[in-house]
Amino acid sequence: MRDVPENRYVTVTLHGGRPQAVSAAAGFVAGMTAHGITCLIKGEHLAALGPVGNVEALGPDNVGLSELAVVFGGDGSILRAAEWAMPLDIPVLGVNLGHIGFLAELESYEAGALISHVVERAYSVEERMTIDVTVTDADGGELWRSFAVNEVSIEKLARERMIEVLVRVDARALSRWGTDGVLVSTPTGSTAYAFSANGPVLWPDIDALLLVPLAAHALFSRPLVIGPHSTVSIEVLPSDESRAVVWCDGRRTTDIAGGMVVTAQVGAHRLRLARISQRPFVDRLVRKFALPVDGWRGVAERNRQHAD
């Protein structure tokens, strides 16, 4: 009896406003079609791609069929894909067409190698910690819930005023700050907003929460690395100017006021990132940030060797 071919599905998402992303995605879809793999694509991107091959509109009836989500864009596009892929445990593979692209596996010039890796399932999957976020009122009633792959930030709304917050760890008061805000980051997010706020870089295989105050007016306002079993809560203290806003990954947001509490703890779901190489994180760090690893002595020595 002849074997019936396996039906395979890969979801493709892209930054529709970038012609380079549209072109790269169209080439990938054509390659998938040539190997009998169906691509699932959001409706708003189908028109941008045009008649490129075997595609279906991504919807609730087929979203769970995907073995992989391939994203053409920057870290923002990858975070958008994570919103639906993470609860379904679908791995996400990013092709960087943005700026730094820390979450991406490939740069745009490497996209040609992607088709064969997907066809042959020649990739590994690593898991990244996430944060579960809740906002409660003064009586403990839940007002809002979300998650974060990079970070949750509590930021002042009024430019001319600080907010006052009381930070607790495992229900024990840690410090009271007058500040522009506070963020709680994952190791993945330590190279994003937390890095810009002078937080340390954490290796992604570490399970820990990173607590970073934003321009706090206090003697003790250093970033803190907190264990994965702890819960961090930030209470916005009541005052005339205690309006603030909560952001998760800079995408999902809600306004908060004095007396409300933002709680962050290690998330129940993990983001699964597909990797086609075993490149160490230190190499990724050096490449993404263009870190200088050769001093002038090393350059001079190489020049001397070439002269010989």
Measured at the alpha carbon of residue 222, what is the angle toward residues 144 and 229, in degrees to the nearest 5? 50
For residue 204, the Cα-to-chain-centroid distance in whole angstroms is 11
Active site residue 75: yes
Is-contact 270 127, C-beta < 8 A?
A: yes
Q: How far apart are CA 81 and CA 78, in angstroms?
A: 5
C-alpha 176/C-alpha 217 separation (Å) is 10
Q: Which position among 75, 170, 207, 255 bears the catalytic label?
A: 75
Q: What is the DSSP string of 85-151?
A: HTTTT--EEEEE-SSS-TT-SEEGGGGGGHHHHHHTT--EEEEE--EEEEEE-TTS-EEEEEEESSE
User: Which positions are annotated as active-site residues?
Assistant: 75
